[in-house]
Amino acid sequence: MPERDAIVVGAGIAGLMAALKLAPLRVTVLCKTRLGKGAATDWAQGGIAAAIGRDDSPGLHALDTRNAGAGINESSMVDILTRDAPARIDELLALGAAFDRDPSGELALGREAAHQRRRIVKAGGDATGHEILKTLIEAVQAHPSIEIVENAIADDAILEGDRVRGIYARSHADGARLELRARAVVLATGGIGRLYRYTTNPVQATGDGIAIAARAGALLADMEFVQFHPTALAIGRDPMPLVTEAVRGEGAILVNDLGERFMLGLHPDAELAPRDVVARAIFEQLQRGRTVGLDARAAIGDAFPRAFPTVFGFCESAGIDPRTRTIPVAPAAHYHMGGIAVDEWGRTSLAGLWACGEVSATGVHGANRLASNSLLEALVYGSRVADDVRNATAPPDRIATAPYRAPAGANGGEAQAIADLRNVMYANVGLVRDERGLLEALARIDALEIAFADTGGELRNLLVVARLIAEAALARRESRGSHYRRDYPDADDAFAKRSFTRLRSVA
């Protein structure tokens, strides 16, 4: 395949926005599955936060974002995010995105936890991600300069000296090797949810981009901060269907099986407290042997099928009618604030490599992401990456590339190893952590790395990311945002800063 201007690894909202903004440059988008399948964007229910209401402003949006981030947000990145948000909404509207409207024809704005204002732009009630993904796919497919390579799995970066010059990949269908070269590589591979036993993420969320960048020597940041969504639908499915936070935004309450509304005494905002507070509260109820339900009967009632059709469909498939009974919920790994460290243009520490979306660590979320800022971050920084790549100088003349040793195929015991890893990560590196549990997790990771030293497939990447998260969690001897240590339950000013790491060492 001839050298392209850019290779975008990942075909969710961040990757497609970057590719669209790069056109008419010659762009190849590497998609792990068929286009439109396997992206977390497609599952995103809540919406996009943007200060477009008459009583709102980017400054208020920024304040809410910083408050949720527990004091370690990258302030300049927050300002960019909230300032650029309205323009990104306008762009999606221009592309034909069908966002929900109120009776007057204005965009219907919802409210979610820790937002002072109604600023959540939605589509189809709770199908926002699906609508955005559909809109971007149609726009990308209309550009002849954008090539989509489907069912291809990225393995490693092509390094020439200290510069990234492409991606080694393989066909999912027949294992054929691909060597894709370009003057710019953009990683937009999404999150790490598959690392945890309970997750709302698709099975493809295996931390591929972080692992690729880490093996290449890139700087990573904030790896310890993993957000657990409080209300995943607890009906025994893997992944767990999400019950969007907007349901609580419309007044639904949390009760245990004794009928107790337990959030009232824990936080002034009760069910609309920051996600880490609500998730840990539910987790503690479950640890005590209680079950937890989301009660929308009084607040939403008969309007539920119309207001939240996706959630209603999930409930209905499990024999649950949220109009007449509570919805069983439990916390599940949902979003990773950490990832590849980037600057305000999505540049990584490696020349020729950019990152955007959940795989990146802009610092905008701090220790805990504000609801509905994830799709927004992908749009804002996907767009900025494209602007920077477009203006980047051409790479130097090619130099010799070291022979590439491709990872072996998956071993026979890989499925069980992944199951073991997911269990230990949820138990020991999940919502509540301590030194003993983290060391136990690292010992198990050590053993799996030895047993599967030559493996390929998703286990290879999951082990890299698991180690990085556990090591960073062990090093942060405090509790902050989504990172909670029962042996260090208070925040410590000495740790009121972001963390940075490279593979095998945490700084």
> Model confidence at 216, in pLDDT bands (50, 70, 90)?
very high
Decide: helix, strand or coil at residue 348.
Answer: coil
Catalytic residue, candidates 111, 275, 460, 480: 275
Q: What is the DSSP string of 455-470?
A: --HHHHHHHHHHHHHH
Q: Which residues contact 333 (CB under 8 A, 6 or more apart)?
A: 192, 193, 195, 196, 198, 199, 200, 201, 226, 227, 228, 229, 426, 430
Is residue 257 one of the residues assigned to a domain?
yes
Query: pLDDT tens digits, residue range 20-60?
Result: 999 999 999 999 999 988 787 777 777 999 999 999 999 99
Residue 286's pLDDT is what?
96
Query: pLDDT tens digits, residue range 434-449?
Result: 999 999 999 999 999 9
Task: Return phi, psi of residue 454, to 5°.
Answer: -105, 15
Q: Does the active-site annotation cover 467? A: no
Task: Return phi, psi of residue 65, to 5°.
Answer: -65, -45
Across 198-290, where does the E strand assignment appear? Answer: 220-221, 226-233, 253-256
Is residue 160 one of the residues assigned to a domain?
no
**355 close to 340: Cβ distance less than 8 angstroms:** yes
Distance of alpha carbon 152 from alpha carbon 208, whole angstroms = 12
Is residue 292 one of the residues assigned to a domain?
yes
Tokens of 235: 């009906």
Q: Which of 192-206, 391-405, 456-470 has the lowest mean pLDDT?
A: 391-405
Among candidate residues 307, 332, 357, the one where a domain is terminated: 332
| CATH code of residue 244 | 3.90.700.10
Residue 45's pLDDT is what?
75
Among candidate residues 263, 298, 332, the one where a domain is terminated: 332
Kindly give the interhelix angle for 75-95 and 128-141, rounded to the nearest 10 degrees. Answer: 70
Residue 506's pLDDT is what?
47
Q: Is the pLDDT of residue 395 over 70?
A: no
Task: Return phi, psi of residue 229, to 5°.
Answer: -75, 135
First to last CA, the chain: 39
Q: Is the pLDDT of residue 398 over 70?
A: no
Is residue 275 one of the residues assigned to a domain?
yes
**CA proximity to 25, closest of 177, 148, 161, 146:** 146
Q: Is the pLDDT of residue 402 over 60?
A: no
Residue 507's pLDDT is what?
46
Tokens of 115: 């937002």
Q: Is the pLDDT of residue 475 over 50?
A: yes
Is residue 424 one of the residues assigned to a domain?
yes
Q: Indicate the DSSP class of residue 241.
A: P
Q: Is the pLDDT of residue 120 over 80?
A: yes
Number of domains in the chain: 2
Residue 409's pLDDT is what?
60
- Percent of the chain scoring above 90 in pLDDT: 85
- Amino acid letter, residue 449: E
- Four-point Cα dihedral 12, 463, 461, 212, nearest 10: 100
Tokens of 224: 């310890």
Is residue 492 one of the residues assigned to a domain?
yes
Decide: helix, strand or coil at residue 208.
Answer: helix
Query: pLDDT tens digits, residue range 90-104?
Result: 999 999 999 999 999
> Model confidence at 275, in pLDDT bands (50, 70, 90)?
confident
CB neighbour burial string for 99-125, b if at least 16 within 10 angstroms, e if fewer? bbeeeeeebbbbbbbbbebebbbbbbb
Q: Which of 144-148, 274-278, 312-316, 427-431 has the lowest mean pLDDT?
A: 274-278
Round the average pLDDT of the chain to a whole number and report it.
Answer: 93
Residue 293's pLDDT is what?
98
**CA proximity to 472, closest of 505, 425, 494:** 505
**CA proximity to 351, closest of 138, 126, 185:** 185
Residue 412's pLDDT is what?
66
Residue 405's pLDDT is what?
67
Domain range spanning residue 456?
414-506
Is residue 293 one of the residues assigned to a domain?
yes
Q: Which residues contact 87 (CB under 8 A, 6 or more apart)?
A: none
| CA distances to 208, 388, 392 from 344, in Å | 22, 10, 14
Among candidate residues 309, 332, 355, the one where a domain is terminated: 332
Is residue 450 one of the residues assigned to a domain?
yes
Cis peptide before 24 (omega within 30 of 0): yes
Distance of alpha carbon 185 from alpha carbon 28, whole angstroms = 10
Please give the distance of CA 300 from its chain centroid, rounded to a whole number. Answer: 28
**CA proximity to 15, closest of 461, 389, 463, 502:** 389
Distance of alpha carbon 54 from alpha carbon 102, whole angstroms = 14
Q: Which of 40-49, 297-306, 365-374 has the lowest mean pLDDT?
A: 40-49
Please give the distance of CA 136 from its chain centroid, rounded to a whole number. Answer: 18
| CA distances to 1, 210, 445 from 425, in Å | 39, 17, 10
Q: What is the DSSP string of 354-383?
A: EE-GGGEE-STTTTSPPTT-HHHHHHHHHH
Residue 50's pLDDT is what?
97
The dihedral through the CA atoms of 96, 99, 103, 105 has a sign that is negative
Decide: helix, strand or coil at residue 146.
Answer: strand
Sole residue written with tokens 């990560």: 425
Q: Is the pLDDT of residue 232 over 60?
A: yes
Task: Return phi, psi of residue 165, to 5°.
Answer: -125, 10
> Model confidence at 228, in pLDDT bands (50, 70, 90)?
very high
Q: Which of 256-260, 289-293, 391-395 has the lowest mean pLDDT?
A: 391-395
Distance of alpha carbon 132 from alpha carbon 322, whole angstroms = 27
Q: Residue 321 region, left (φ>0) first, then alpha (ψ -120 to 50), else beta?
A: beta
